[in-house]
C-alpha cells in the first residue's frame, strides 16, 4: 500500500489525494464518510480533498436523493490519463530546456564529477547516442558488459576504436589487451575511458572500487587520455608482432617507472 501511495505522489498527488483515490479504487462508489473512515483522512478535510480530485477529473461525483457519492476514475482510464499528462509535461520540459541549452551562453570547458552508478551509465549511454564520427574506448570487461548493447549499436553507425581488457570479441576495430602481470594483478584498478568525437569524455575507476566518474569537454584532458589509449593500443600491437620477449622487459620498466617493489 505504501508503495502505491509513493508512486501516486510522484504523479503529483499529495498524501490525502493519494489515499482517497486508493480508497475509492478499493471500495467503488461510496460516500465521503466511507472514504474518510477507510483512508484515515480527517472528516474535516475529506470533502476538500475529494473536491480537488473531482476538479482534476480523477474522481466522479454523483448527487443522489440521500446524499453525495464518489467513484474513482476507472484504473485503465486513469493510467492512460496519467501517461498522457506525463508525456505532455515531458515534451514541454524537454522543449524548454533544449531552447535554453542552445540559446544560453556556454560555460568554459569543465571537468565535472559524476556520482552514482546509474547516473554514470546513463551519461555514457547518452554520449554514445550523440557520437557522429568516432568513439575511443579503454574498458575492462565489467564496464564493457554494462555498455555492450549500446557500443554495438554505436559501432553500426560510427567507428569505435580503442582497447579492452578481458573482453571476448569486442566490437570491430577495438583491440583486446594481451594478458600481462598488470592485467592479472587483483589490485589493478579497472579504469575506463569513453571519448566521443574528441569533444566529450567520461572516465573513471571500476564501480567495484568507487561509484564515481568524471565528465569533461576540456580538449586538453581529451587529447591526453585519447593519446594514452593510442599508446596502449600501439604497445599491444608491437608486442604481438615482435619476435623478442618484450613482455618481461616492459613489466620491469613499468615497475621501475612507477617505483613499484
Domains of the chain: 2-73 (1.10.10.10), 111-257 (3.30.870.10)
- The secondary structure of the chain in percent helix, strand, coil, rounded to multiples of 5, reads 50, 20, 30
- 72 close to 27: Cβ distance less than 8 angstroms: no
Q: H/E element holding 115?
A: strand 111-115
Dist CA 183 CA 106 (whole Å): 40
pTM above 0.85, yes or no: no
Coil, helix or strand at residue 142: helix
- DSSP state, residue 30: B
Residues contacting residue 217 through CB under 8 Å, at least 6 positions apart: 109, 110, 199, 200, 201
Tell me the pLDDT of the chain (261 aa) as tens digits.
Answer: 778 888 888 888 899 999 999 999 999 999 999 999 999 999 999 999 999 999 988 899 988 877 899 999 889 988 888 888 888 888 889 888 888 876 656 667 888 999 888 999 999 999 999 999 999 999 999 999 999 999 999 999 999 999 999 999 999 999 999 988 888 887 778 899 999 999 999 999 988 878 899 999 999 999 999 999 999 999 988 888 886 778 788 888 878 887 776
- 133 close to 158: Cβ distance less than 8 angstroms: yes
CA distances from 148 to 25, 124, 130, 145 (A): 43, 11, 16, 5
Q: Pairing relation of β-strands 192-196 and 111-115?
A: unpaired
Amino acid at each position: 500500500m505504501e508503495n502505491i501511495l509513493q508512486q501516486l505522489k510522484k504523479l503529483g498527488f499529495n498524501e490525502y489525494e493519494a489515499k482517497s483515490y486508493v480508497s475509492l479504487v478499493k471500495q467503488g462508489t461510496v460516500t465521503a464518510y466511507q472514504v474518510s473512515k477507510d483512508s484515515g483522512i480527517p472528516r474535516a478535510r475529506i470533502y476538500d480533498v475529494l473536491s480537488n480530485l473531482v476538479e482534476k477529473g480523477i474522481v466522479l461525483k454523483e448527487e443522489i436523493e440521500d446524499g453525495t457519492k464518489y467513484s474513482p476514475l476507472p484504473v485503465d482510464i486513469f493510467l492512460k490519463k496519467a501517461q498522457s499528462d506525463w508525456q505532455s509535461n515531458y515534451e514541454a520540459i524537454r522543449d524548454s530546456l533544449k531552447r535554453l541549452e542552445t540559446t544560453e551562453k556556454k560555460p568554459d570547458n569543465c571537468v565535472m564529477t559524476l556520482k552514482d552508478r546509474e547516473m554514470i551509465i546513463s551519461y555514457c549511454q547518452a554520449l554514445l547516442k550523440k557520437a557522429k564520427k568516432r568513439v575511443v574506448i579503454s574498458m575492462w570487461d565489467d564496464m564493457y558488459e554494462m555498455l555492450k548493447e549500446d557500443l554495438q549499436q554505436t559501432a553500426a553507425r560510427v567507428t569505435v576504436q580503442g582497447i579492452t581488457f578481458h573482453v571476448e570479441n569486442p566490437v570491430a576495430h577495438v583491440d583486446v589487451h594481451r594478458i600481462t602481470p598488470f592485467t592479472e594483478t587483483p589490485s589493478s584498478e579497472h579504469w575506463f575511458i569513453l571519448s566521443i568525437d574528441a569533444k566529450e569524455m567520461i572516465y573513471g575507476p571500476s564501480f567495484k572500487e568507487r561509484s564515481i566518474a568524471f565528465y569533461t569537454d576540456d580538449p586538453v584532458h581529451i587529447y591526453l587520455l585519447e593519446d594514452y589509449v593510442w599508446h596502449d593500443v600501439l604497445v599491444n600491437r608491437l608486442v604481438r608482432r615482435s619476435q623478442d620477449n618484450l613482455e618481461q622487459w616492459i613489466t620491469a620498466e613499468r615497475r621501475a617507472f612507477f617505483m613499484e617493489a
